[in-house]
Copies of this chain bind each other. A is one copy, B any other.
Amino acid sequence: MHKVISFYINLINETLKERVVKKEPANLYEPIDYTLKLGGKRIRPALLMLANNLFDGNDKTALNSALAIEIFHNFTLLHDDIMDEAPLRRGKPSVYKKWNTNVAILSGDVMLIESIQLLSKKNHPNLHQVLSIFNTTAIQVCEGQQLDMDFEELPNVSIDDYLKMIELKTAVLLGASLKIGAVISHASSDNSHHIYEFGKNLGIAFQLMDDILDLYGDPEKVGKRIGGDVISNKKTYLLLKAQELATGKAKKDLEFCLSSIVLDDNTKIEKVKSIFNTLNIKKLALEEMNLFYNTAISHLDSVDANESKKMVFEQFAKGLMKRDN
């Protein structure tokens, strides 16, 4: 990882560690402290700082906005974990499991408000624009989560709908982090637009890579069991593309795998993988991923800024796609 990126990640972690935490009511503030100290890759705030640096902004001004984005992201995790009934977060009990659902709802609410508070802590000429980007994005993230839940109940989800969902749920926040970094450093609207599109498209590519790695990743590098999405019938790009393309025997076999209650996990994974291989799903998914990745890079190319600083973004993007966790 480039040393500028590590520098910003360390800065975010140090600032979160030294953050003054209100003590009372303990049931409201302890879960927030717990969540923010669970760690995380800090990708979003690092991107905000990087974008701010790209356009020669002031690090101190940007830091509050970077923390705001990280706290907002963690707010979504608190509420998502309730909705998705996810007992673990970063290997530790999620807040609704460690405390209870009410605590996770209310602490999450406070984190959402704290993120707005941090964004608008200092008055600056672009405050209105920053809030406008943030609010639009925050609502999109909620829409993405709702679509994700809706899709679980639907028999058919199109690839277009799926791409829209991951764009809203994951990708727009990466774009917005970069755009806010750009806007507070007074970047031109063209540059702000291109850096946003870089982040958004990279985010979609990243999510598609996630889908691919679930089945085709190296278990040691991915750090979790291979095929988890297959076992749970999760509507990933791979499955949706297979459902779109499968006909005849492949279609019947796939339907059997999805509905059978007699198949053991390993057999199910092997059977589904073999259907995917017949339909060339891995290659198609990689092509789709590369499409978004290349769109991201072409937007980065269109950014008018110091070329060596732009290289850090490209390196970051490459690192993200080759990730081993």
Contact = CB atoms under 8 A, between A and B. Distances in A.
Interface of A: 25, 27-28, 79, 82-83, 101-102, 105-106, 108-110, 112-114, 116-117, 120, 123, 127-128, 131-132, 135-136, 138-139, 142-143, 145-147, 149-150
A113 B101 CA distance: 21
A105 B105 contact: yes
Contacts of A128: 120, 123, 127
Contacts of A123: 128
Contacts of A136: 117
A258 to B, nearest CB: 24
B142 A106 contact: yes
A95 to B, nearest CB: 13
Contacts of A83: 102, 105-106
A255 B142 CA distance: 47
B25 A109 contact: no
Nearest to A104: B105
Contacts of A117: 131, 135-136, 139
A51 to B, nearest CB: 22
Contact of A139 (B110, B131, B146): B110
Given A116-B131, A120-B128, A131-B120, A146 B79 contact: no
Contacts of A139: 110, 113-114, 117
Given A116-B135, A128-B120, A142-B28, A109 B150 contact: no
A105 B79 contact: yes
A83 to B, nearest CB: 4
Contacts of A114: 139
- Pick the 7 closest A-B CB pairs, nearest first: A123-B128, A117-B135, A25-B146, A28-B146, A83-B102, A120-B131, A113-B138
Given A112-B113, A113-B135, 13 more contacts: A27-B146, A82-B101, A82-B105, A101-B101, A102-B149, A105-B105, A109-B109, A113-B138, A116-B131, A120-B132, A127-B127, A127-B128, A131-B131
A139 B108 CA distance: 11
Contact of A116 (B79, B82, B116, B147): B116
